[in-house]
Amino acid sequence: MTRAVQIAELGDQNVFTIDGDNNRVGIGSTLPTAKLDVGGVVVATAFTGDGSNLTGINLSYVPTAGIATYATTAGIATYATTAGIATNAQGLTGTPDISVTNITGVGATFSGDLNVTGTLTYEDVTNVDSIGIITARTGVRVTAGGLVVTAGISTLTDGIDASDLLKEKVNVTAGKLSDNTNIDLENGMIHLFTTTETTTSTPNIRYSSSESLDSKMSIGQSVVVTLITTAAAGAYSANITIDGGAVTENWVGGSAPSDGGTSGVDIHSFTIIKTASATFTVIANHSKTS
């Protein structure tokens, strides 16, 4: 049966209604349609339930464990925690994705990809794998592994900063060119032989013992190879081969060398231009320091 109990002589808003047939109660309201219908403020030490039908709530109390709720101007954003305090989650939405205006923290871990549609600013990144343009604010430092560019360099607006020193690898051989005629460019473009030469020689210029120079160059590309020998009058190189094949040298001055210097070093320089498959134009020069 249903009966009404008047709490105080303050008006109908304080009526305590009990519906014993349906196990419902109401305070300051008409006969409730739920188990509890309150027309005023409810104070409790805890609440249970998923809160899916709650609207227009603004709570300043956040428990140290359980559900942390923060009210927004358009609905409720709820974040469940197992421990700790969750606060200031205004603007946190998502089903299941989450969109947040701004995140500030001391660290983050992502098990999947991180997609950024704007500008990503960072410091001291270990690895960068980018499908777009990488802009470095104060410079790029390569500490190991070298810098590999497979598509060429199109624009250098301010030059290359190489710590004020542009260095090139030199292959130094403690022997004679005539005893070491294979010139492997994988070891450098400049080759120095420190033992006094004794005879003429025909250097064979290649990339390595397993890869030809032809396979490493495209048509229209060129390389410059410099051979420095410890001088002897009867020692010089009037011809070269490329990948083991003979080529025609175009000697600066009109003729190939016929002798070497008497002291110091002799310098042979070859500019090699690839004009077709396994076809090269060679500009050669011989200089003596004595």
Cα separation, 25 vs 13, in Å, equals: 14
- pLDDT (tens digit per residue) in 48-89: 776 667 666 655 444 444 444 444 444 444 444 444 444 455
Checking if the pLDDT of 10 tops 50, the result is no
Q: Calculate the alpha carbon distances from 46 to 61, 75, 77, 87, 151 in Å.
A: 11, 21, 19, 18, 65
Is residue 112 exposed (0-12), middle (13-18) or buried (19+ Cβ within 10 Å)? exposed
- pLDDT (tens digit per residue) in 113-160: 888 777 777 777 777 777 777 877 777 777 777 777 777 666 666 655
Sheet holding 279-288, edge to edge: 170-173, 190-196, 222-230, 265-276, 279-288, 249-251
What pTM was estimated for this model as a whole? 0.51
Whether the CB-CB separation of 214 and 277 falls below 8 Å is answered with yes
Checking if the pLDDT of 240 tops 80, the result is yes
Record the tokens describing residue 201, joined without a space.
């020689």
CA angle 40, 42, 46 (to 5 degrees): 165
pLDDT at 75: 47
Sheet holding 245-246, edge to edge: 182-184, 204-206, 241-242, 245-246
Whether the CB-CB separation of 227 and 239 falls below 8 Å is answered with no
Record the tokens describing residue 162, joined without a space.
């190489």
